[in-house]
Amino acid sequence: MRIWLLAYGVLYVVIEMVGRSLETIGWPQITALDVATAVTDAFLTVSVCLALLLAGQLGLRRWSRVRSVPPRGPAPPRVLAGPPLGVRSWRAPLALPPAAPVRSPYSVGAYGPGWSRRGRRVAPAFPEEPGRLL
């Protein structure tokens, strides 16, 4: 089928749908919003119909491909020519980093540093050196 004939047919259907929508409103009361709504509805309808046709065509194509392939039997066992070849690694083994010391969960407190169990702020331990304290 020629593509121009299909495009002309789709355009004709869109124009007919827009005309039908505007005719139901009444020609004297038509506004720009009515025209935009009619055009949007027509293009939405056409695009949904084309999507359904495309999905049907792709489904038929896949179904026919599945039906045309003969079923396969079990795969033959693989015969190895010899034992597997060993390969030496050119990389040196990586050393693991030293483990971090494990802190006790009670060393900081359940509520974080600077807070007591009752939700009150605890005064931090100030350094011995003189300086500005906020």
Instruction: Tell me the per-residue pLDDT of 74-94, one tens digit each, with 9 for 90 and over.
Output: 777 776 677 777 777 777 777
Query: Which pTM value belongs to this model?
Result: 0.44
What pLDDT band is residue 6 in, cutting at 50, 70 and 90? confident
H-run or E-run covering 4: helix 3-25
Q: Which residue has the higher pLDDT, 24 or 95?
A: 24
115 to each of 36, 60, 134, how far by Cα in Å?
A: 64, 70, 18
User: For residue 88, what pLDDT is reported?
Assistant: 75
Average pLDDT over residues 65-74: 73
What pLDDT band is residue 130 in, cutting at 50, 70 and 90? low
What pLDDT band is residue 29 in, cutting at 50, 70 and 90? confident
**Tokens 């050119």 identify what position?**
90
pLDDT tens for residues 101-123?
766 655 555 555 555 566 566 65
122: Cβ contacts below 8 Å, ≥ 6 apart? 114, 115, 116
Residue 99 identity:
A
Q: Which residue has the higher pLDDT, 73 or 18?
A: 18
Average pLDDT over residues 18-24: 88
User: For residue 27, what pLDDT is reported?
Assistant: 80
* Res 33 pLDDT > 70: yes
Residue 100 identity:
A
What pLDDT band is residue 54 in, cutting at 50, 70 and 90? very high
Provide the CA 14 distance to its chain's centre, in angstroms: 33
Angle CA(103)–CA(108)–CA(111) in degrees, nearest 5? 135
